[in-house]
Structure 1
Amino acid sequence: MIRKRSLMHRTAVVAAAGTTALVLAACGGSGDDGSAGHGGHAATASSSAPSSPSASASASAAQGQHNAADVAFAKGMIPHHRQAVEMADLAPGRARSAEVKKLAADIKKAQDPEIRTLSGWLTSWGEDVPAEGAMDHSAHGTGGMMTAEEMTGLENASGTAFDTAFTELMIKHHEGAVEMARTEQADGAHGPAKKMAGEIIDSQSAEIEQMNALLGKG
């Protein structure tokens, strides 16, 4: 009888141990699966977390970062270019020299598209585009821009007198643009604006040499 009870007790202990082992195994498996699942999710979250700032940085780079110097460059160069185009528009009906007429046409052809590009940048940056006729050049001094009196004098000139006045005034005008462009290259942050500044320096410096040659100063 005692032996039978002992056997039954041993059987119960073994069964209980087996049950405990199964429960532990189940818990362990569940813990591993949960841990793996959570770990996998955590890994995914962790790997995606850095990608957000990275995506933001890429978006910023795509939009083009800019600073106050870029804004000043665009706001200063738009009225500056507009005046150069206005001067160039006088040449076909007033200039005598074919070289002056061609130079005026080249200036208009180069600067009209730049005005549109500069205006587009300001709009994308949430800045106001200078109004037509605005000649506020406080950001860069006068920038070689003509006074109202000089513009009137150019409008009233013709022939050789116009050629000389146009060339002399445009040299001063170009020198101002080159100075503004150098400031942008030194202080600006917007890559396309700095690239445009470099193109302005190259093209307008070449035109200054050409105009000095026309005046016999080359």
Structure 2
Amino acid sequence: MTSKRSLIRRATAVAAAATAAVVLAACGGNGDGNGSGSAHDGHGSSASPSGSPSASAPARQGDHNAADAAFAQGMIPHHRQAVEMAGLAAARADSAEVKKLAEEVEKAQDPEIKTLSGWLTSWGEQVPATGEGHGGHTMSGMMTAEEMTQLAASSGKAFDTAFLQLMVKHHEGAVAMARTEQADGTYRPAKDMAAAIITSQSAEIARMNALLGRS
């Protein structure tokens, strides 16, 4: 009896061990399968997010073109000269309306110079040096050095007339540059600024022509 019981116990133990081995093998197989699947899925998931920025980064870097850079590089010295002209009005103008217009020009264009400079820096483009393009030979409507000297030497009503005449010409040049940006540029903020320049400076041209008795 003892011998038979021992044999039965051994057989039961062997069967239990075999069953356990099968279960463990099955679990191990599922675990490996899931692990492989998880690793594959994880790789796929991580590749997708990392792939998206790399695909979108060039679009962010390239959403400006040569026309946008030319607009910014041309408008900076153009605005600088307008601000310089406007700065003369406080001490030289006779008309309160001319002084007010000059203040508005300076208030509007000085911040735009900073914005345009910031764009060029972010694009890796050169920001025009102070005084660059001042000769009036490169941008539409720019005053020559001689015209600027004559304006600075005038005062009273003579200054008012010269200022208005020169600023009309200057604004017309800026509007032309802005229209080129709208037609050829791709950088949305620059195109929006161009639209604002066309609207505001066209209105100022009408005001100045009225002050000159042209309307």
Q: TM-score, normalised by structure 1?
A: 0.81
For 1:92, the aligned partner's letter is A
Matched, 1:184 2:181: yes
Structure 1 distance, partners of 2:135, 2:145, is: 14
Further displaced range: 49-58 or 190-199: 49-58
Which sections of structure 1, spanning at least 5 residues, go unmatched?
1-11
1:155 maps to a residue whose letter is A
The residue that corresponds to 2:93 in the other structure is 95
> Are the aligned partners of 2:179 and 2:194 in contact in 1 as well (CA < 8 Å)?
yes
What letter matches 2:172 in structure 1?
E
Aligned AA for 1:120?
G
Kept after mapping to 1: 8 A contact 2:134/2:143: no
Partner in structure 2 of residue 153 of structure 1:
150
RMSD across aligned C-alpha pairs, in angstroms? 3.0
Partner of 1:6: none
Q: When the two structures are aligned, how many residues end up with a matched partner?
A: 204
Alignment of structure 1 residues 1-218 onto 2, 5 Å? 19=18, 26-56=24-54, 65-135=63-133, 141-218=138-215
Q: Which moved more, 1:35-44 or 1:68-77?
A: 35-44
1:101-154, Cα deviation, whole Å (9 max, x unpaired): 11001000111111111111111222221111101799x953210111111121
Distance 2:198 2:51 in 1: 36
Inter-partner Cα distance in structure 1 for 2:67 and 2:125:
13
Work out the CA distance in 1 between the residues paired with 2:83 and 2:147: 15
Counterpart contact for 2:78–2:174, Cα < 8 Å:
yes
How far does the alpha carbon of each residue in 1:5-30 deviate from its partner, in whole angstroms, 9 at most, with x for none? Answer: xxxxxxx9xx89x95x8766654443
Deviations 1:3-58 (A, max 9, x none): xxxxxxxxx9xx89x95x87666544433322212212221221222212333466
Say if 1:29 and 1:54 are closer, same or farther in 2 by CA, change over 3 A: same
Distance of aligned partners of 1:214 and 1:201 in 2 relative to their CA distance in 1, 3 Å threshold: same
Runs of 4+ that moved beyond 4 A: 21-28, 56-64
SS at match of 1:142: coil
Distance in 1, Cα, partners of 2:30 & 2:52? 33
Task: Give the Cα separation in 2 of the matches to 1:156 and 1:87.
Answer: 12
Matches of 1:56 and 1:120 in 2, distance apart? 24
Contact 1:87 1:166 (C-alpha < 8 Å) held by counterparts: yes
Letter in 2 for 1:110: A
Q: After TM superposition, give the deviation of residue 186 of structure 1 in Å.
A: 2.1
- TM-score between both structures, scaled by the size of structure 2: 0.82
Decide whether aligned partners of structure 1 residues 61 and 32 sit closer, same or farther in structure 2, where only a CA change above 3 A counts: same
